[in-house]
Structure 1
Amino acid sequence: MGKPDGRHRILATLCRVFLETVTSRIDGCLNADPDGGLLTWGVDFKMKTIEVDGIKVRIQIWDTAGQERYQTITKQYYRRAQGIFLVYDISSERSYQHIMKWVSDVDEYAPEGVQKILIGNKADEEQKRQVGREQGQQLAKEYGMDFYETSACTNLNIKESFTRLTELVLQAHRKELEGLRTRASNELALAELEEDEGKPEGPANSSKACWC
């Protein structure tokens, strides 16, 4: 029986409902597996292992693009999500207004208790801004979500927002995580016990005769 290495992994499916995707930056700022991507109709898939509070977490990242022609397909992915980014473009008031619809879809199709973060993307395009930071903060407050403004061009808050969403997922699955830790500890103790029991006993002490 192999010994656990002390690193516990849970599966966190992070669906990103993007009107403007930041997928192109994930490889750079999160070092996603180069061969871990799978482009499907309306969905871009990547995998990444990150460490949060000493815990190794293997995450699946599903970029559903948020385009209307893909809605039927992407709603299926909501059901498997544990964490969701709802993303608008700060240079597009229209994309900001669409957030309310995405929230409605998440409430209808995603699992109960799914973790959500609101993202205002393209923060580097300040001169084109149509949605104020305060608007994003207020909307996030109304829906009880954390809020970040990000930039796929400068990496602003990309890693921070992914780490935070992973933390929220871990916190929501704390009991499951503790169960994994307990099971791993028990398996380790059993492995050590089996090894001890399998060792041959040393020869019994006996007096040695000396023949002169």
Structure 2
Amino acid sequence: MSGITWHYVLKFIITGDAAVGKSSLLIRLTDQRFLANPDPTLGVEFGSKLITIPEEDKIVKLQCWDTAGTESFRSITRSYYRGAAGCLLVYDVTSRKSFTNTRSWLADVREHADPHLTCILVGNKVDLCEGDLNGRRREVPTEEAELWAKEEGLLFVEASAKSGQNVEDAFVRAASDILSKIRRGVFDDDRSPGVKLSKPNGDLALEQGRAKQACCS
């Protein structure tokens, strides 16, 4: 799909505890498939995707950095927060601990990312506790997560990387909010590293897939 022009490049980070499904969400977005047992992310991994935002009449390129959820890589992953315009803060709806820990992840993001960053709280793995008597018990009620997101000024959605439910919608909603901020002058095209305006006649062969990034020497 060559010759596609995008209007903006938006830098996104995906953060949260290990094993909440961050890598699976990225693969679902970029490849439209589900990877049941992805290898643990070591440092960061990268994926990109073109999406259309109809209400803004814009095409944006998402540059998504999937960060490791273990403490040993935290100093490395923090460096990728810098300048991010969008963030998916992910927890597992069947893990109370992963939801509790989103507070710490959010504090990190707010310390190191763009101060005007748009963050969407994503409750992943809803497929594990819906419509299956043998499924896992939900530990985080929708209403509780939604209330906390509202208190913190976050967008909120529940999703499933396995089924694809609300995965692209999470990115679209966050991107729409960023474009709204650009329109209102909150983000500066020239000074916000997480928001880049397309160069005239800038074309792109649709880039999808993922490339592992070196995390250490």
The TM tier, using the shorter chain, reads 0.7 to 0.9
**1:125 partner SS:** helix
Structure 1 gaps of 5+ residues are 33-38, 185-212
Counterparts of 1:85 and 1:27 in 2: how far apart (Å)?
Answer: 14
Q: Give the match for residue 174 of structure 2.
A: 165
Q: Does 1:68 align with 2:71?
A: yes
- Aligned to 2:79, the other structure's residue is in SS state helix
Deviation string, structure 1 residues 113-143 (Cα, Å, up to 9, x no partner): 0110011111111142111111111110110
Q: CA deviation at 1:55?
A: 1.4
Deviation at 1:66, TM superposition (A): 2.3
Q: Separation in 2 of the partners of 1:28 and 1:75? A: 24
CA RMSD of aligned residues (A): 2.7
The equivalences for 1:1-212 within 5 A come to 7-19=5-17, 20-31=20-31, 41-53=42-54, 54-126=57-129, 127-174=136-183, 175=185
TM-score norm. by structure 1 comes to 0.72
What are the ranges of 5 or more consecutive residues in structure 2 without an aligned counterpart? 33-39, 130-135, 190-196, 201-217
Output the CA distance in 2 between the equivalents of 1:156 and 1:125.
12
Identity among equivalent pairs (%): 33
- Mapped partners of 1:100, 1:24: distance in 2: 22
Conserved? CA contact 2:41–2:68, under 8 Å? no
Higher relative contact order (CA 8 A, sep 6+): 2
Quote how far apart the aligned CAs of 1:7 are: 4.6
SS where residue 44 of structure 1 aligns?
strand
TM-score (norm 2): 0.71
Q: In the aligned structure 2, how far is the partner of 1:31 from the partner of 1:162? A: 14
Q: CA deviation at 1:96?
A: 0.7
Q: Could you say which residue in structure 2 is the equivalent of 1:206?
A: none
In 2, Cα distance between the equivalents of 1:30 and 1:164? 16
Q: Which has the larger radius of gyration?
A: 1
Which structure dedicates a bigger proportion of its chain to helix?
1
Task: Kindly provide the amino acid, as one letter, of the partner of residue 169 in structure 1.
Answer: I
Q: For residues 30-78 of structure 1, what are the alpha-carbon distances to aligned partners after superposition, in whole Å with 9 as ceiling and x for unaligned?
A: 447xxxxxx9842110011111123121110111132212110111111
Tell me the SS of whatever aligns to 1:128.
coil
